[in-house]
Amino acid sequence: MSTAQAVRQPTAPGPAYAEREDVMQAADDIAARRNLDTEWVRQAIGQSNYLPQVARFIQPPPAGTAKNWRVYRGRFIDATRINAGVRFWQDNRDTLARAEQETGVPADIIVGIIGVETIYGQQMGTFRVIDALATLAFDFPASHPRALERSAFFKNELEQFLSLSHRTNIDPLALRGSYAGAMGMPQFMPSSWVKYAVDFDGDSRIDLFNSPADVIGSVANYFKAFNWQPGMPTQYPVAFDTQKLDMDALMAPDILPTFSVASFAAKGAVLEGAALEHKGPLALIELQNGDAPPSYVAGTENFYAITRYNWSSYYAMAVIELGREVASAMNR
C-alpha cells in the first residue's frame, strides 16, 4: 500500500486514453465483466491521462542502491509525525480502544500505520487515482523486472476502482491519491478498500478520506484478516553466538517466520527473557545501515502481518517505532 504521497503531480499530463483503441476495448471488457454501463466505463477511462512521471516513480531503485535503516527511520519518525499522532490519538481515543478490543490490534500499531502512510491525513496524494491506475494498467514500464505481473495487478485495481466508484456513486475522476492509486488516510488500494474497509462510525457508508473512525476500523480489520495474534509482540531483541552462527540459513526465509525458538538457537541466534517462551515461528529481520553494521531483530507473526501492508521490514519497523514514540509522548 504505502507509496510516495509527497510526490507532486505536474500540470502537464500526457494524452487521454480515449485515443487508444486497445484501452477502449479493455473498457468494454471491464463493463461486461462487472455488469457496468459500457458508455460510463468508456467515458471514465477515456478521460484518464497517461502520466509519464507515474511510470518513472513505479520503477525500482537502481541496482546497488544501499539501504539504510537509520535514514529510512528518520523520514518517518520525527516531531511532526509524533505530535500529529498524539493529536490523532487524543481525538480518537475511544475509537482506537474499541478497535483494539474488537480485533486485538493494538492502538499504537493502528496509529503507526496512519502516521507513516499520510501523517494522519495531511498527505493523501495529489494524483487523480484513475490517471495513476490507467497509466500503470496500460503503460506499465516494460523495463521493470516484473512488468507483466504488475501490469495485470493494476488492471485489476482499475477494474476494482471503477466498480467501487459506480457502486458508491462517487465520481471516478474526482478522487486523488498516491502515484500507485492508493487512497485515503490509510492509503488503501481499491481491492483492499473492497475487501477490508468497514463502516466503523455507523453512518452506513465507508469514507477513508474523512472519517477517522472508518480509517481506524478498516486498518484494524485489515490486520485481523491477515491473522494478527492478539497479545503477541512484533519482535524481540536478538544477538548471535559466533561459534554456531549459520547466517545463510537464518536469512534464507527472508521475513517469513519459519524458525522455532529451538531451531533459531541451533543456528546461532541468541534470545533472552520472554523471547525464550515464544510459541510461534520467528524470522531473522535484517535492517541494513549503509556502511555501518546491520541491525537485527527476531520478527514474529505479527511483524510479518505488518509487512502484508507493505512488503518491507523497514516499513514495518517504522510503523512499530512511530506507534511506540506516539504512545510514549501520550504518557509524558
Catalytic residues, by residue number, are 117
DSSP character at residue 277? G
Say which amino acid occupies 183: M
Contacts of 259 (CB under 8 A, 6+ apart): 250, 253, 267, 269, 281, 282, 283, 284
d(CA 177, CA 133): 10
**Sign of the dihedral through C-alpha 199, 200, 202, 203:** negative
**Distance, CA of 125 to CA of 184 (rounded, Å):** 8
Instruction: Supply the Cα-derived Rg of the chain in whole angstroms.
Output: 21
The residue behind cell 480489520 is: 221
Dist CA 36 CA 29 (whole Å)? 10
Residue 65's H or E segment, with its range, is none
Q: What is the largest CA-CA distance in the chain?
A: 69
Given a contact cutoff of 8 angstroms between Cβ atoms, the answer to whether 103 and 153 are in contact is no
Q: Number of C-alpha atoms within 13 angstroms, CB side, residue 246?
A: 10
Residue reference for cell 510461534: 280
CA dist., res. 303 & res. 316, Å (int): 7
Instruction: Measure the CA–CA gap between 316 and 86, rounded to whole angstroms.
Output: 20
List Cβ<8 Å contacts ≥24 apart for 70-76.
70/289, 70/290, 70/292, 71/290, 72/314, 72/318, 73/317, 73/318, 73/321, 75/318, 76/115, 76/116, 76/318, 76/322
